[in-house]
Structure 1
Amino acid sequence: MNAITLYRIGRRSRQLGIPFVPRIVDKLVVVLCRCVVPSRCEIGIGTELGYGGIAVVLHERVRVGKNVMIGPCVTLGGRSGIVGVPVIGDDVFIGTGAKVLGDVRIGNRAVIGANAVVLQSVPDDAVVAGVPAKIIRLQVRDPEKRPVEMLSVMQAE
């Protein structure tokens, strides 16, 4: 049994109003899977945790989209003095050891490099890396559909 399966059991129990089960399942995730994936957070279908989610820490209010790959040792959480937590789009890849902190939005199909520290929102189709994370590339599937603001980011580099 992996962390996502246990999360889904706890989440469903919480939605059905079954007392105590979500808290027990949350504790089981910590003990058995060595990660923190609270049943209060929202995780979309198809999302996976690399290596069973070892050392992954998710804030209880985090929202993660569909088909997201979260590597080991990733933190998605709050930031001192800033209200809000990350919202992760669909089809995102978050590399090993990355930290996404504060009230930020990670766009659909974004890639966050290993050990990156993301403190600002990331647009759709962007590849970010570094400390603090910066856009290093935009993955464009159809140049006709690229927003003007993305063009200005590329020209600034």
Structure 2
Amino acid sequence: MGIFKRMKEDMAVVFEQDPAARSNMEVLLTYSGLHAVWFHRLAHAFYKKNLFFIARVISQISRFFTGIEIHPGAKIGHSLFIDHGMGVVIGETCEIGNNVTIFQGVTLGGTGNEKGKRHPTIKDNALISTGAKVLGSLTVGESSKVGGGAVVVKDVPDHSTVVGVPGRVVVQNGEKVRKDLDHHKLPDPVADRCAELQKEIDELKIELATLKEGESPYADKSL
């Protein structure tokens, strides 16, 4: 596909996704998400030729003007729509399919200093809502949605909706996964650890009280 035809397609996506878009001139000059995608295509072209420094310079220029950071190594399909993209971060080994929508504040990042594939794969027609964090080498399935502010650390099946911290699937293939979802039973590692510490403290108090009475709790009472 030619460059200008591709750019025209990118602008058409904006009109499809954003009812506030009024004219081609407005979209061409004022949509930072569109500019970030165009900058990325240029940076990615240099990256594939192993011209990493130039690629990074272009990506940083894009970040300065758009507020969107896309690593030049990221692989992005056609018709990506980044809406109000300030604060969006897309990592080096991230792979994004076709017709994906990303809102502001989204992070498609890694979880540490691991090597190789360390960023998410976002399949076709997925939607990542405002402030969501998708972390690690995981997959967000086709036509799936990640709710605003969610933190996703494991794979999301196709045609699913994920919400919460940590992210959990609440809808799959149009049906609720759990109709009687008990919000008070969601995993809470901090509370679990506090409960363990409290149990240990209670045991130590009993042991200390026994020692004060002059009897070792470990003494064999059968003697």
* Fold conserved between structures, TM > 0.5: yes
Contact 1:82 1:102 in 2 (8 A): no
Q: In the TM superposition, what are the counterparts of 1:113-152 in structure 2 within 5 Å?
A: 113-140=147-174
Q: 2:111 aligned with 1:79, yes or no?
A: yes
- In structure 2, the partner of 1:26 is 59
CA offsets 1:110-135 (integer angstroms, 9 cap, x no match): 00000000011000000111111111
- In structure 2, the partner of 1:38 is 71
Q: Could you list the runs of 5+ residues in structure 1 that have no partner in the other structure?
A: 141-149
RMSD between superposed Cα atoms in Å? 2.4
Q: Could you list the runs of 5+ residues in structure 2 that have no partner in the other structure?
A: 1-28, 30-34, 182-223
Contact 2:129 2:149 in 1 (8 A): yes
Q: In the TM superposition, what are the counterparts of 1:56-71 in structure 2 within 5 Å?
A: 56-71=88-103
2-structure distance, mates of 1:40, 1:82 = 16
Q: In the TM superposition, what are the counterparts of 1:47-58 in structure 2 within 5 Å?
A: 47-51=80-84, 53-58=85-90
Instruction: Give, in angstroms, the shift of residue 88 of structure 1.
Output: 0.8
Higher mean displacement: 124-133 or 5-14: 5-14
Q: 2:50 aligned with 1:11, yes or no?
A: no
| Paired residues, number | 146
Higher mean displacement: 17-26 or 61-70: 17-26
- In structure 2, the partner of 1:100 is 134
1-structure distance, mates of 2:43, 2:140 = 25
1-structure distance, mates of 2:96, 2:113 = 22
Contact 2:92 2:119 in 1 (8 A): no
Higher mean displacement: 123-132 or 26-35: 26-35
CA offsets 1:133-154 (integer angstroms, 9 cap, x no match): 11111234xxxxxxxxx99x55
TM-score by length of 2: 0.59
- In structure 1, the partner of 2:15 is none
2-structure distance, mates of 1:135, 1:81 = 27
Point out the structure with the larger helix share: 2
3-state SS in 2 of match to 1:3: helix
Instruction: Give, in angstroms, the shift of residue 96 of structure 1.
Output: 0.4
The higher radius of gyration belongs to 2
Contact 1:75 1:99 in 2 (8 A): yes
3-state SS in 2 of match to 1:90: coil
Instruction: Give, in angstroms, the shift of residue 85 of structure 1.
Output: 1.8
3-state SS in 1 of match to 2:108: strand
2-structure distance, mates of 1:127, 1:119 = 14
